[in-house]
Amino acid sequence: MNIKTIIGGLAAAVVVLAGGYDRIRSYVEQWTGGSFLPEAAEGRVWGGSPSGAQEVPDIGLPEFTKERRSQIIRHIGYTTSYNAETKIPNYVAWTLTPERFEDVVSRTDKFLPDPEVADPVTTDDYRNSGYDRGHMCPAADNKWDKEAMRESFYMTNVCPQHHNLNRGDWKELEDACRDWTMECGKLHVVAGPILYNKRHQRIGDSRVVVPEAFFKVILCPDPLKAIGFIYKNTSGNHPLDAYVNSVDEVERITGMDFFPNLPDSIEEVVEKAYDLDEWPMPER
């Protein structure tokens, strides 16, 4: 832990004692500049489209507590950590704002190999596998820009996903995130696969790993709150609260530290909570 983190934690503790939860949020915004993950500016994720596959220091991207291969790739609508061993992303991170949902372009449905990856996965690897090409960052979150929509179909944003999950409960969570964005104004989202310590099923000539489960963690900067979800990669039809977990629990299972630039004292408070009542759904 560096001196900045220690000072930040002590300052946060004073803020908590002096003013409570609202002042925590104010403090965090001052400490981080209001930026926990790549920031949306005019609908674009901070960092924009990569000019190459080089790794660039990120603001608030997840940190690994368990070692794994990772190639950080920035696209217009999201940042992905691609794993060349498993052939799927470790995670995909993006910032949601209402502007991203503007119907500027239609869904393309054309899955493409990522040009930033050597020996990339192609859509043929999924052919006759029995699994959907499941988006991590949804196409519907990228309607605001033609290139963002096209890049959302890169295979580095895709995992083998059970058809029923992809078209059912996972999609319902994607819809909920858009509703919460309209309510909060901004969300920071990280989603990806969960691989248990076992021999994994693989598909296609590229030997793409089939995840045993999926996670999604969400941070709302105002009012400051966070929540996590875990879905087994199987068929099912359950309400949203069946999948709720704390961000702490998702971190334990995935071996990642989400929102690492939050001072520890604030991170501990926010990431322990998992009350779905704090995330109301609009009446339809």
Q: What is the pLDDT of residue 60?
A: 81
| pLDDT score at 281 | 81
First to last CA, the chain: 46
Ramachandran angles phi, psi of 35, nearest 5°: -125, 115
* 273 occurs within a structural domain: yes
Query: Does residue 166 fall inside a structural domain?
Result: yes
Residue 12 lies in a domain: no
Token pair 């944003």 is at which residue?
A: 157
And the tokens for 12? 């946060």
CA–CA distance, 258 with 189 (Å, rounded to integer): 10
Q: Does residue 203 fall inside a structural domain?
A: yes
Q: Tokens at residue 216, please?
A: 């999604």
Please pick, among 75, 135, 162, 188, the residue that the annotation labels catalytic. Answer: 135
Is there a domain that residue 257 lies in?
yes
Is residue 23 situated within a structural domain?
no
pLDDT digits (tens, 9 = 90+) for 158-178: 999 999 999 999 999 999 999
Identify the pLDDT of residue 35: 36
Beta bridge partners of 96: 187
Question: Which one, of 19, 32, 83, lies nearest residue 263 by Cα?
Answer: 32
Task: Say how many domains are in the chain.
Answer: 1
Query: Six-digit token pair at 178?
Result: 């858009």
Q: Which residues of the chain have pLDDT under 70?
A: 1-59, 283-284
Q: Which residue has the tokens 């096209």?
A: 150
Active site annotation includes 135: yes
C-beta atoms surrounding 15 within 10 Å: 23
Q: Is the previous residue joined to 38 through a cis bond, with omega within 30 degrees of 0?
A: no
Model pLDDT, residue 229: 98
Tell me which residue of 192, 177, 152, 170 sits closest to 98, measured CA to CA.
177
Domain around 97 = 36-278
**Residue 30 counted as domain residue:** no
Report CA torsion sign: 12, 265, 190, 69. Answer: positive
**CATH code, domain with 229:** 3.40.570.10
Residues contacting 71, CB < 8 A, separation 6+ = 53, 55, 81, 82, 83, 84, 116, 117
The confidence score (pLDDT) of residue 283 equals 65
Residue at 153 is within a domain: yes
Cα–Cα distance measured from residue 173 to residue 169, given in angstroms and rounded to the nearest whole number = 6
Helices 247-254 and 264-272: crossing angle in degrees, nearest 10, is 100
Q: Are the beta carbons of 170 and 242 closer than 8 angstroms?
A: no
